[in-house]
Amino acid sequence: MFKNWIVPLLLTMAPLALAAEPTTLSVRIVDSSTGEPVEDARVIINHGQAAEPSSAEMIQKGREFRPHSLVVPRGSKVDFPNRDNTQHHVYSFSPAKSFNIELFAGQPEEPILFDKTGVVEVGCNIHDQMQGFILVTESALTARTGPDGMAAIRLPASVSAMADGKLDFSLWHDRLQNTTQTVDVTASIPSSGPLELALDLKLERPEKGRLDGLQKRFQDL
Amino acid sequence: MGIANRIGFRGRLVTAMVALVAVVSISIGALLMLYLFEDEKARAVEQLRLGERVAAEILERRTSLILSRLDVVVRDFGFRSALASRDRATADSALENQSRRVGARFAVIIGSDSQVLATASTPPENLRQRAETLKLLAEAQVNGFASQITVIDGRAIELVTLPVEAPGLRAQLIAGFELGEEVADIIERLSGTEVRYRAKLPGDDNFQFLSDDSAMSDGRLRELAGVSAENQMGSRFVSSPHFFTRILILSDDPQTSLQLLLLINRDASLAAYYKRAIEILLLISGVLILAALIALIVARSLGRPVLALAEYAKSIGDGASPEPPRIRAGGELEELRHALGDMLEKLKDREAQIRYAASHDEITGLPNAHAFLNSVREGFSENQSYRLFGLRINELSNINDTLGLAFGDKVLQAVADRLRHELPDHSELARTGGGEFLMLADACTGEALNALAHQLLDAVQAPLMIDNTPFALRCTMVSLQLPEDAQDTDQVRRRLNLTFELAQSTRQRVTHYQPGRDEDHLRELQIISDLTSAIADMGLHMNYQPKLAMADGSLQQVEALVRWIHPELGFISPEEFIFLAEQSGQITDLTRHILRRVAQDASHWHASGLDIGVAINLSTMDLTRPELIDEVADAFSDWKLPMSAITLEVTESALMDDPETALETLGRLRQLGVTLSVDDFGTGYSSLSQLRKLPVQELKIDKSFVLKLDSEPQDQLIVRSTIDMAHGLGLKIVAEGIENREAWHILKGWGCETGQGFYMSRPVGASDLLATVNKLQDMKPELETPGETTP
């Protein structure tokens, strides 16, 4: 489902009688089908102040984008240096950012500016199996789950003291059914213990080999 | 079996052989046709199976090819860029370009949010709403690709779906490729079968063909359209009259089911099949005709010798001695011929044995009576004259009884040897039964005859030693002169027997036949044979002679006397024919007849008021029959008078022949209440002691003592003492043969109770009895007073 990424921050200006203490929110992401903890899930809390733009890198090494996924604030610039001995043709058709870096080796001419929030899929026209994701966010409250599926996010007082105790989360993982979008959920902060959120995931990243069977048959002939 | 009997051996052989050949060849032909048919079917099945594999492979290859082409298309960067440009015109033109490259009929790109990103060659209107499209998209999500054959606008179309994915691009390509004549042609070329697409369109119950079928006739098309895969469980092979079909289901969508038909047109093979059938039929007919011919020839070659053998057997049966037929064939028929030949030999042997046995006496080896009479017959036919000698050994049965049959046989052999030895050459000798030998010598008379006869008799009667027993025979010899004494064999036999009988009573050593003897014998034979009809046809007459009481001259009884006037021979005396009836056994019938006649006559005169009893004579033989009592009782069942008024008269000799039986019979007759009388008393050899025991009530003095009673003192003595004796024994006396008044009165004076004789009355017929009664009334004075002189 598509959500409007521009969340109106009605609560930020509200002077509260009792300024709440900043708290740390523990979020646990599990696989909805197996109940296993999910590693490397991105958790974004869509409240609080906008993050400051920054610059980041997504290098190509061993015919892979490294890191495989990247979270950057809106307005950030990302560079795509090539560390391989082959050239790459990095491009994206994602609506959040379409770009095209023709074949290059080493450092591209200039970094790419990501000025829209959303998930940008990055690929290489020469090497189909290369895939990378850049999550462009408005929010600064982001985290990544560890092997135990846990992520800790330090909430500013303004956020933790929200009147109704409900938060809007955007979750992403590269094993989502649709990796081109984040999964947006609203959840209440539990009074104690971590907040547990479930994701519908594929078992593992499918091999990019839909014609393998056919090719095998041709080889048999 | 009736038919089998009628059609004979040849017909049966032909029938059997033709039937066998027919059954065999028709079976073979039928099997052959079946095999051909099955073979055609099997080959069709095989070919269609191959066709199916080929078709499946080709379709799969084609799908693979399309997929691999499209795979290249959807990964083409330019194409993806055009799609990602979000410029519809650019996207359409790029898709158009690519679909032309891969030979798609139409193509459409659908974005991840189901909006159309691009189209090429105007895809069908409702493509995205179609069920199979949705199914395809879903399948492609999972597998990365999907293909589906369906019918669109009356064409077989293969829809292929591939995801178009690029970083930042998520869409689905749906392209349609027509399954057309080219694919069909390739399948036809590779498999050797014809190929047709057919589809059942929505709202239509029948299949429609999607290809151009102008080459095929409507009937065949209808047949093909009707071929259904549903009723072929498991196998999708269908055979219909003109096609073998295999059905590949390309799409089993209930809306539009599309099928690929692989056909083998049977027209050519059916034509060949019928041609074969006709050839086989012709062959079978030929073979049948040949078989019939062979069977006929075999039957002829078999039948002819069989018929010849049948003829052979028939002539053997007729007693001929035919030459055996020549038979070229060996084996069983040869066996049969030998068997028939052997049979002929054995028949001849057996016939000779039988003939010998039939014409010879087994004890002496001499010809028997039959053979001898044949010789006699031949002599008659050749008008030769002979002297026939007959010799009988007296007492041969005694010899057999006392010394045994084996001894008797030796006696016969000895006699035969002696006769053979003594007879002149060319004479015939035969043993004709018992101790009888007959000889046939040349005619001789007078001295020569006597010399020969005595020579023979002396030879036979000379003492002989048998088993160290000296033995002398007594023989009777007779002779006849042929043909003077007899003209045929019947006469020979009869007159020979007569002469032997005569020889018993004469004391001569040799008895010659006297001409005329045989006529008496013939008269007796005639009497015997005519007596039966005389009894049956009432040819006998009954006469009745009165018996009067001497005391008062009253008529008490009449004696029944039978009389026979023969139409040719005239009057025959009762003594003669009764004697002959006793000889021939007719006496039984005669007695029964007389009893009935007498009872009948008596009932008439009783009805007219004459109460007179009857006296009836019984024969010796009657007394030996237990039935006599019942016959008497039956005959006189309506008797009016007391039973004692019936007197049965039995001769003395009859009583003395078999006294015990006679005594028993008389006793039972006595129980009936009849009076019993001894007839002809004084002529037989009566034993007076027997007489005492007999249950008789009267004696009847023989008339030989009474006829001359008045003049013969000896007779008077006998009669008088007999009367006294009878009275002493409590018996009454009847005197018969009273010829005159003197005799009547003498007897009356002696106390004789009853008298009978011509003096009073002759025997009269039943109708004259009344007149006789009246006449006797008139005689009464005479009978009561003795006259001085006889009238």
**Where does the pLDDT of residue A9 fall: very low under 50, low under 70, confident under 90, or very high at 90 and above?**
very low
Question: Backbone dihedral region of B338: left (phi > 0), alpha (psi from -120 to 50 degrees) or beta?
Answer: alpha
Chain A closest-CA separation from residue B85 CA (Å): 8
Cβ neighbours of B67 in A, within 8 Å: 211, 214
Q: Which residue in B has a C-alpha nearest to residue A181's C-alpha? A: B168
Q: Please write the tens of the pLDDT for every residue from B125-143.
A: 888 888 888 888 888 888 8
Distance CA B498, CA B492 (A): 10
Mean pLDDT over the full length of chain B: 85
Q: Please write the tens of the pLDDT for every residue from B81-109.
A: 888 888 899 999 999 999 998 889 999 99
Q: Please write the tens of the pLDDT for every residue from B542-553.
A: 999 999 999 888
What does the pLDDT read at residue A12?
Answer: 37
B670 vs B270, residue with greater confidence: B670
Lateral strand order in the sheet of A112-114 = A55-57, A76-79, A112-114
B69 interfacial to chain A (CB closer than 8 Å): no
Q: Is the CB of B145 less than 8 angstroms away from the CB of A211?
A: yes
Q: Which residue in A has a C-alpha nearest to residue B167's C-alpha? A: A121
Q: Is the pLDDT of residue B638 over 70?
A: yes
Nearest to B16 by CA among B29, B3, B28: B3
What does the pLDDT read at residue B545?
Answer: 94
**Where does the pLDDT of residue B233 fall: very low under 50, low under 70, confident under 90, or very high at 90 and above?**
very low
Chain A closest-CA separation from residue B111 CA (Å): 13
What does the pLDDT read at residue A119?
Answer: 94
What does the pLDDT read at residue A13?
Answer: 39
Chain A closest-CA separation from residue B167 CA (Å): 5
Q: Is the CB of B168 less than 8 angstroms away from the CB of A128?
A: no
Name the DSSP letter for residue B241. T
Chain A closest-CA separation from residue B73 CA (Å): 14
Cβ neighbours of A122 in B, within 8 Å: 167
**Where does the pLDDT of residue B560 fall: very low under 50, low under 70, confident under 90, or very high at 90 and above?**
very high
Distances in Å between the alpha carbon of B617 and those of B411, B595, B623, B678, B769?
48, 10, 11, 10, 19
Q: One-letter amino acid identity for B455?
A: Q
Cβ neighbours of B68 in A, within 8 Å: 211, 214
Q: Which residue in A has a C-alpha nearest to residue B60's C-alpha? A: A214
What does the pLDDT read at residue B338?
Answer: 85
Chain B closest-CA separation from residue A218 CA (Å): 9
Nearest to B666 by CA among B688, B691, B634, B702: B691
State the DSSP H helix or E strand holding residue B46, giving kind and residue range, or none if neither: helix B2-75
Of A163-167, B297-301, B610-614, B650-654, highest mean pLDDT: B610-614
Q: One-letter amino acid identity for A217?
A: R
Which of A135, A210, A220 is the best residue to mutate to test the B interface, defined by the most B CB atoms within 10 Å of its own CB?
Answer: A210
Q: Please write the tens of the pLDDT for every residue from B751-788.
A: 999 999 999 999 999 888 888 998 988 888 888 887 65
Which of B59, B81, B115 is the best residue to mutate to test the A interface, defined by the most A CB atoms within 10 Å of its own CB?
Answer: B81
Q: Is the CB of A211 less than 8 angstroms away from the CB of B170?
A: no
Distance CA A2, CA A95 (A): 13
Taking one residue from A and the other from B, the number of pairs with CB-CB distance under 8 angstroms is 50
Q: Give chain B's end-to-end CA distance (angstroms, integer).
A: 99
Cβ neighbours of A92 in B, within 8 Å: 167-168
Cβ neighbours of A100 in B, within 8 Å: 81
Of A146-155, A209-218, B343-352, B523-532, highest mean pLDDT: A146-155
Q: Is the pLDDT of residue B530 over 70?
A: yes
Helix, strand and coil content of chain B, in percent to the nearest 5, comes to 55, 20, 25
Q: Is the pLDDT of residue A8 over 50?
A: no
Q: Please write the tens of the pLDDT for every residue from B146-182.
A: 888 888 888 889 999 998 888 888 889 999 999 888 8
Cβ neighbours of A211 in B, within 8 Å: 67-68, 71, 144-145
Q: One-letter amino acid identity for B438?
A: L
What does the pLDDT read at residue B213?
Answer: 65
Give every CB contact of residue A129 below 8 A, 6+ residues apart in sequence: A63, A208
Range with lowest mean pLDDT among A122-131, B235-244, B492-501: B235-244
What does the pLDDT read at residue A216?
Answer: 54
Q: Is the CB of A93 less than 8 angstroms away from the CB of B112?
A: no
Cβ neighbours of B56 in A, within 8 Å: none
Rounded to the nearest angstrom, the gap between the alpha carbon of residue A37 and the centroid of all alpha carbons in its chain is 17
B80, B112, B143 member nearest A93 (Cβ): B80
A93, A210, A218 member nearest B168 (Cβ): A93
A98, A128, A217 member nearest B168 (Cβ): A98
Give every CB contact of residue B97 below 8 A, 6+ residues apart in sequence: none
Chain A closest-CA separation from residue B265 CA (Å): 33
Q: Record the tokens describing residue B616, joined without a space.
A: 């009836």
Cβ neighbours of B169 in A, within 8 Å: 93
Chain B closest-CA separation from residue A216 CA (Å): 11
Q: Which residue in B has a C-alpha nearest to residue A120's C-alpha? A: B168
What does the pLDDT read at residue A205?
Answer: 53
Range with lowest mean pLDDT among A83-97, B472-486, B744-758: B472-486
Per CB distance under 8 Å, which residues of A are interface residues toward B? 89, 91-95, 98, 100, 120-123, 125, 128, 131-132, 178, 180, 206, 210-211, 214, 217-218
Q: Is the CB of A94 less than 8 angstroms away from the CB of B67?
A: no
Q: Please write the tens of the pLDDT for every residue from B650-699.
A: 887 777 777 788 888 889 999 999 999 988 888 876 667 777 778 889 99
**Where does the pLDDT of residue A15 fall: very low under 50, low under 70, confident under 90, or very high at 90 and above?**
very low
Q: Is the CB of A94 less than 8 angstroms away from the CB of B167?
A: yes
**Where does the pLDDT of residue B229 fall: very low under 50, low under 70, confident under 90, or very high at 90 and above?**
low
What does the pLDDT read at residue A77?
Answer: 95
Cβ neighbours of B168 in A, within 8 Å: 92-95, 98, 120-121, 123, 180
Q: One-letter amino acid identity for B32?
A: L
What does the pLDDT read at residue B232?
Answer: 47
What does the pLDDT read at residue B764?
Answer: 92
**Where does the pLDDT of residue B225 fall: very low under 50, low under 70, confident under 90, or very high at 90 and above?**
confident
